[in-house]
Amino acid sequence: MAKVNLGILDGFNGKVGTVVGYSRYGKDWMRAYTDEVSDRRSGEQLLVRARFRLLSLVGSGMLTALQVGLAEAPRRHGNTPSNTFMHLNWVNATGATPAAVEVDYASLQLSEGHLPQPSFSQASFAQSQSVSVEFPTHSDLPKTSDDDLVYLFVYQPESNMGLLSPAVSRSTGSISLLVPSEWVGLDVHVYGFAIGDGEENAGMRSSTAYLGSGTIG
């Protein structure tokens, strides 16, 4: 029951219909009433936290790539590369229960922009302890240049570690990355992206290409 202080047009304390009256800092306030109880341990809340924890963990292992591929994105989103990664990939961490949450590695975006991607081949694991890909040495697509910088990123989930290659120019046509000997026999996920380095596209990023998974030999 509400209590009216000085009259029907004055402030009131308590619930009236769908609103609640109260006083704060010497002023009278009114807010909508809700009888919902926030349960921080509800199934939905636990699921959200599990998704957040897993994406945060994966993002920490991919940080070297995010600091390059998402370096320009924070200026638009007002965010850090890690937070931008979370924003872009929230839909890629799914599961019916907290224990079943998993990441769709093939859909992860480690870079963001409108630069056309190089037409990467699938990752090759033919050489011992290394990963390599090929791509055309020239592109006629708008906003591209033979001088564009191409990167390869290899991520090992069990160790939550990733390696970013040194950049090579698009005109090089291939890129290879030597990985730690500790990764021999383990599965990895491979990604590629590019950054513009021509007169008209300097600093532009491409979106991320997933180049497959495989076992380090």
pLDDT (average), residues 112-131: 96
Q: pLDDT at position 23, please?
A: 61
Collapsed DSSP state (helix, strand, coil) of residue 86: helix
Q: Could you say which of 1.10.3720.10, 2.40.30.170, 1.10.1740.110, 2.60.40.10 is the CATH number of the domain covering 43-215?
A: 2.60.40.10
Q: pLDDT at position 42, please?
A: 77
| pLDDT band at 145; cut points 50, 70, 90 | very high
Selection from 148, 145, 139, 140 nearest residue 111 by Cα: 148
pLDDT (average), residues 108-120: 96
Tell me how far apart the alpha carbons of residues 209 and 211 are, in angstroms, rounded to a whole number: 6
Collapsed DSSP state (helix, strand, coil) of residue 90: helix
| pLDDT band at 73; cut points 50, 70, 90 | confident
Q: How close are the terminal C-alpha atoms of the chain, in Å?
A: 74
Q: Residue 17 pLDDT more than 90? A: no
Q: Residue 116 pLDDT more than 60? A: yes
Cα angle, residue 119 at apex, residues 62 and 63 outer, rounded to 5°: 10
Q: Where in the chain is the domain with CATH 2.60.40.10?
A: 43-215
> For the chain, what is the mean pLDDT?
87
Whole-prediction pTM = 0.80
Cα angle, residue 131 at apex, residues 127 and 136 outer, rounded to 5°: 105
